[in-house]
Each structure stands twice: as structure tokens, then as C-alpha cells.
Amino acid sequence: MAQGNQSVEEATTAAKTKTAKSDKATTRSATKRATATKPKRHTPSPVFLSRLEAHKAELESLFMSLYGERATATEDFNALLESMATAYADRPTDLKRLDKTREADPEWYKRGDMFGMTMYTDLFAGDLKKLADKIPYLKEQKLTYLHLMPLLQMPHPNNDGGYAVEDFDNVDPKLGANEDLAALAKKLRRAGISLCIDFVMNHTASTHRWAKAAQAGDPEYQDYYFCYDDRTVPDEYDAHVPQVFPNTAPGNFTYNEQMGKWVMTQFYPFQWDLNYRNPKVLVAMMGSVMHLANLGVEVFRIDAVPYIWKELGTNCRNLPQVHTIVRMLRIILECVCPAVVLKGEVVMAPKELAAYFGTPEAPECHMLYNVSIMVNLWSALASRDVRLLKNQIDQFDALPDNCWFVNYLRCHDDIGWGLDEDVERYLDIDPLKHKEFLYHFYEGAVPGSWSMGELYNYDEATRDARSCGTTASLTGIEKAIITHDKPLYETSIKRDLLMHQTMAFLRGFPMLNCGDEIGQLNGWDYKDDPDRVEDSRNLHRSKFDWDKAALRKKAGTLQNRLFKGMEGLREERHDPCFAPDAWVSTWDTFNDAVLAVVRKVDDAVLVGLFNFSELEQHVHLNPGADEQGDAVIKESLEADLAPYEARSIHL
């Protein structure tokens, strides 16, 4: 690397640009702001230079480990540095102040009062401007974190809920403009709410300008994807790479008639997998992340991150190069916008999760979605058996201290029944039979079921399926309302609250799915919409019912009871035992229907007991200590719990 020892100042201004090839005016430069026009020349800020100096050697080493053999590697690395310098120079003053605050409080997202919500902008309010008008409703719930589902420019109607992105730099016109996003982010920040959005790293929409250029025959942009003249290489990949959606979108490649090539499309045919072996792809995507951060985004949920690096002869999941890229992203953010944190969507076995946090010396994601706990909560509720849930919590609590999770019950996605089959077999549970029981239970097809959900992606060959529905409908509230069953109604509300209370007690911070706080039911009208009927996940993606929300202030209503229940969750999390450094562990109850979780900070101990049964239950907790030998429960604890009761006990 002839230029590897150049100064930071020289590196940040040395990158040269070239004009992108045009193809019927459908494409722009891959590194849009840095190379579409002559880059701005900045006098680098001492603050930026100091941050970069601390990380440049590692960043360059990581970059060259992926791209060092390419003739343009040094040029591409310098383009990345220039993009970073430009992004820092363009960063608004108020966000730079936030950076300084967060650098002094780097674990701000671990505070006990963190309380989140996820929603679709259009379903909740219509567009970004109207959502800004609804901030008082969010403040009423004392939210500190708001995750807006994909809102970047997307094709319509086929966009996989917004996860097919055709422009990573601009808001979808149906939702507003970049100025609206920036204004919303600022208003949320003033209200104490951090904005999270999705960043889809693995693929673009087939209508993205790069894909259009590739389809038009431009070899430069065909190298942004995985494009092949025949099936030879695709067949080699298919021999090792599992299918993501074998039923609804079989295969990992799609033949493009216009291009005359096979293109990798692991998710849907209209989502083209990006080729991160091309450094220009990485530089361009990092530029888009920094651009969005400068609009005020504070958290990025990086979608499908385990898939982003492809290698022949492997399953293209969780490869080492994935962690190299995530580490580089973390470094870039720490140099340009250290207020921003990364939340990974890693739907993998628990043993794969710790790697996505990196190490204390070389961190990657700040936090991950807690998919496994979500699945195990629903499994425990249907089976009235908490053993799998307890084991899963123990596995998570055993992870290093730098591992942090966002806990939730429902989100935009389905419930995929990915339980730990080895543990199931150890507990004499047949994995396939249990999975079938669960998804049939939650579609209401098992005798005694109170649930009203639907299957998603049923595979007749493997007998695999996932489940859809809102929390209220899955816990029995909808069935009780339809059947006018008052006892079932009362029990179902207890079930709903139990699930939220358990989720909020665990290590990490809780995130509600918008509508769950008022018991919103399934949106069956999706079946009348030809653009939505093919995807049963739309069952729980319905418009927010503002008329029902108004009932949250009327005592005795479903909406009031659940809203008050969520208020109780927030109040409890102000307890000192929810501090970021709290010691958290499960405890034996000698009762498979009851989960016990213990939190300890200094001499303060809080025990949570959660009855997952419709029957009264008795529990016994033995005295015991933590790993250092410090007493946690000093005397035996006995308790009787009502059906679906959640109880907190200070010791």
C-alpha cells in the first residue's frame, strides 16, 4: 500500500472522482455524494481528526483485509475517508452537541427507563408530518425510543413491507421528504425520544438505480450484484445455501430477461443481493448511513445482517467478513456521529449472537433484537411450561456484559418457531410435534385454544410454519369479544399483561408493538386488498384505531386496562434493580408453570414471579447466592400465585 502512511489530512482530501456512466438517465454514481460531482474540500475538524486518528489504523486494516488485493483498494479506502470527512462537515450543530453528550454517556441506551415502540408511519398517522403531530400521544407513554418501519423510497406495491429499497438516501414520497424526517427527528429528540429506522444492508429493490443500470447492460453495476450468464455458479451456491422463503419465494436466484443473466435474490425476486466483495458497494452504503444519521436518526436497525457476505462453498450465513463489515460500520459511526447506535436483526441460534456484539476492545452492534426470547415466551404461554423459556433466558444471561437486547412480544414480522431443539429433546419434547402444536394452537386449531391467528409460510414438505396476529388476538381477547365470553375476556387480559410484564422484566429494554398498548385486534380486512392478501403478516399490520385509543382514558375499558398496565411496566423499571449493571438470573420455582427472575444491584434484590398457567400455582424458592458467593435470596421464599399472575417482590 504505497499510500498507507499518508497523513489523515491528506487522506481525507486525496480521493479523486470520476463521472458515473449514464444509461438512459437511470443511474447515478455508486458513491453518490462523493463521486457524482467534484467532492467538497474541507479543512478537517480537530474533533473528527482526533476520532479518526484513534481508529484509522484498524479501519484501514479491516478494509484491506477485504479489498487489499484489488488494484483500486487504496483509492476506494481514500474515497471512504473523504465520505466520512464530508459527512462530519455536513453534520448539524445540534447533532454534534448530542454526539458530545453521548460520548460522555456511552451506555445511555441501557438505562432502566428506556421504553420503546415500533410502528409503521402510514398506519399510525399517514405520513411523517402527521406523525409529528402525534408526539403528545408518544410522550403520554413516556417513550424514549421510537422505531419507524422502513420509510425510504420503495417500489409500490411489491416492496416487502419497505424492505425493498430503491433509494437509500431519500424518504418515500408517500411518507414525505427528507426535510420531514429531519423535522420529526428533532421534535422527537426534544421530547426525549430517540428515532430508530431500518437500514437494509443485504439487498436493494430491483428498481434501484444500480439495478436498472445492471439490467441495461452496464458491467460496472452488474458487479454491484451477483449476476451470472448461466446456472453453473448459482447451482454451486444452491448446493450449500438454504432458502429463506422456500414456499413463497423458492430459490436463491432469479433469471432477469432484460439482462439475460441469473441474479442472486435470496429473499424475494424483486430484492437483489448486494455484492460487498466490491468495495464501491461498501463505500456507497456507508455514505447513505452517514447521510441518514445527519437527518437525526439515532439508531439503525441493520436488517438481515448475517447474510451480507457471500462465499461459494458456504451457507452464506454468519461469515467472518460480516463481522469485519459491521465492525467497520461501528468505527465509521464513532468517528462521524458517535451518538448513533446499531441494533442488529440477527435471527440466528443463540450461539451465533454473541459474535455480533464483537468484543469490548472491538465492538460491533450495540444491541440485538431478542428474537429467541420472544418465541419462547409464546411457547411457554401455549404449553403452560416455562422450562424452555427459562433455559433460553439462562443462555442469554450467561453472555458477556457487552451483550444487550431489545425485548418484545410482537413486531411487524411473524413468530418463527425457532426453538432450541437440543434442549427440547433433553426435556423429552419432540421438536417437530411441539412446533406443530404451537402454530396450530395460535391459529385456533387446537382444542382449548383461545387464540385467533394465522399461519405464515407453511411448508408442506418440512411441516414448518410461522404465526401471525396481534398480541391481543393471540392471547384470546379477540375470541372473547366475538363470543361474548366474559370469563375468557378477563382471563385473556391477564394473559396479555402477563406476557408484557415478563418481557419487561428481562435483561435489556422493552419495546411495544404500536397498538398493543390499547389491545388492537387483528386486521382481517387485509384479505380484501389484492396488494396485501398474499402476505398473512398483514394481519397484524393494520391502521391504528384512534377511536379505540380515545377509550384509554375511560375507566374499565379494555384500552384503559391495558394502557394502565403498560404504565405499570414503565413505573417498575425505575426501580434501582433495573440499572444497566444489575445482576439478572432465573431461579428454580419447583413448578414448571412458573418462571422466576431475580434482579440484584448492591444489596437491593427484586424477584419477579410469572404464572403461565390458567390455574393457581404454588412456588418455592430456595436460598442462594450469585457467582461471587454474595447472598441473593437469604431465606426460603414461598408464594401462591393466581392464574396468569405476575408479581414483584422486594427482598
Q: Output the domain CATH number for residue 606.
A: 2.60.40.1180
Please give the pLDDT value at position 114. 95
**Res. 105: pLDDT tops 60:** yes
Tell me the average pLDDT across 372-388.
Answer: 97
Write out the three cell numbers for 309. 457476505
Give the structural domain span for 633. 583-650
Query: Among the three residues 273, 293, 317, which one is the final residue of a domain in this structure?
Result: 273
Tell me the average pLDDT across 56-74.
Answer: 97
CA dihedral 116, 120, 124, 128 (to 10 degrees): 100
> Which helix (H) or strand (E) covers residue 150, if one does?
none
**Res. 23: pLDDT tops 90:** no
CA dihedral 439, 440, 446, 449 (to 10 degrees): 50
**Res. 34: pLDDT tops 60:** no
As a whole-number percent, the residues of the chain with pLDDT over 70 amount to 94
Position 619 in a domain? yes
**Res. 367: pLDDT tops 70:** yes
CB burial class (10 A; 0-12, 13-18, 19+) of residue 149? buried
Query: Among the three residues 273, 296, 319, which one is the final residue of a domain in this structure?
Result: 273
Write out the three cell numbers for 625. 447466592
How open is the CA angle 609-613-616, to the nearest 5 degrees?
75
Please give the pLDDT value at position 401. 84
Place of cell 449476476: 227
Tell me the average pLDDT across 398-413.
Answer: 92
Q: Which of 292, 98, 333 is nearest to 192 (CA)?
A: 98
AA letter at 431: P
Measured distance CA(549)–CA(119) in Å, rounded: 15
CATH number at residue 269: 3.90.400.10
Report the Cα 153 to chain-centroid distance in Å. Answer: 19
The per-residue pLDDT for range 186-223, each reduced to its tens digit, is 999 999 999 999 999 999 999 999 999 999 999 999 99
Position 601 in a domain? yes
Measured distance CA(562)–CA(496) in Å, rounded: 8
| DSSP H helical ranges for 354-485 | 371-383, 387-397, 421-426, 431-441, 471-474, 477-483
Q: Which of 39-43, 337-341, 347-351, 505-509 has the lowest mean pLDDT?
A: 39-43
Greater model confidence, 87 or 34: 87
User: Would strands 367-369 and 405-408 be described as parallel, antiparallel, or unpaired?
Assistant: parallel
147, 124 Cβ separation under 8 angstroms: no
pTM, rounded to two decimals: 0.92
**For helices 371-383 and 387-397, what crossing angle results, to 10°?**
160
Catalytic residue among 122, 160, 198, 345: 345
Position 69 in a domain? no
AA letter at 406: V
**Res. 43: pLDDT tops 80:** no
User: Would strands 509-513 and 405-408 be described as parallel, antiparallel, or unpaired?
Assistant: parallel
Query: Among the three residues 224, 244, 273, which one is the final residue of a domain in this structure?
Result: 273
Measured distance CA(593)–CA(625) in Å, rounded: 23
Q: What are phi and psi of 625, to 5 degrees?
A: -125, 170
42, 84 Cβ separation under 8 angstroms: no
Tell me the average pLDDT across 342-360.
Answer: 87
Three-state DSSP string of 488-537: HHHHHHHHHHHHHHHHHHCCCEEEEECCHHHCCCCCHHHHHCCCCCCCHH
Position 177 in a domain? no
- Per DSSP, 564 falls in state H
Position 347 in a domain? no
Output the CA–CA distances (angstroms, integers) from residue 470 to 196, 233, 429, 518, in the order listed: 22, 42, 27, 11
Position 212 in a domain? yes
Interacting residues of 591 by C-beta distance below 8 A, sequence separation 6+ = 617, 618, 619, 620
192: left (phi over 0), alpha (psi -120 to 50) or beta: left
Residue 53: active-site member? no
Q: In the predicted model, what is the mean pLDDT of the chain?
A: 92
Catalytic residue among 303, 334, 414, 478: 303
Q: Which residues pair with 619 in a beta bridge?
A: 639
**Res. 39: pLDDT tops 60:** no
9, 79 Cβ separation under 8 angstroms: no
The per-residue pLDDT for range 127-147, each reduced to its tens digit, is 999 999 999 999 999 999 999
How open is the CA angle 500-501-505, to the nearest 5 degrees?
115
**Res. 422: pLDDT tops 70:** yes
Q: Specify the 3-state DSSP secondary structure of 124.
A: helix
Position 639 in a domain? yes
Q: How many CB atoms lie within 10 A of CB 470?
A: 26
Residue 10: active-site member? no
Please give the pLDDT value at position 42. 61
Output the CA–CA distances (angstroms, integers) from residue 200 to 272, 281, 341, 416, 514, in the order listed: 12, 13, 15, 20, 22
* Maximum distance among all Cα pairs of the chain, rounded to whole angstroms: 77
314, 240 Cβ separation under 8 angstroms: yes
Write out the three cell numbers for 266. 435470496
The per-residue pLDDT for range 244-298, each reduced to its tens digit, is 887 778 899 999 999 999 999 999 999 999 999 999 999 999 999 999 999 999 9
Q: Which residues pair with 342 in a beta bridge?
A: 300
User: Would strands 367-369 and 341-344 be described as parallel, antiparallel, or unpaired?
Assistant: parallel
Total tally of structural domains belonging to the chain: 2
CA dihedral 75, 79, 85, 91 (to 10 degrees): 180
Tell me the average pLDDT across 616-627.
Answer: 96
Q: Which of 237, 246, 284 is nearest to 264 (CA)?
A: 237
Backbone Cα Rg of the chain: 25
The per-residue pLDDT for range 518-565, each reduced to its tens digit, is 999 999 999 999 989 989 999 999 999 999 999 999 999 999 999 999
Measured distance CA(162)–CA(252) in Å, rounded: 20
Place of cell 441506551: 109
Please give the pLDDT value at position 40. 54
Q: Which of 167, 172, 396, 387 is nearest to 287 (CA)?
A: 167
Position 117 in a domain? no
Measured distance CA(549)–CA(113) in Å, rounded: 24
Q: What are phi and psi of 302, to 5 degrees?
A: -85, 115
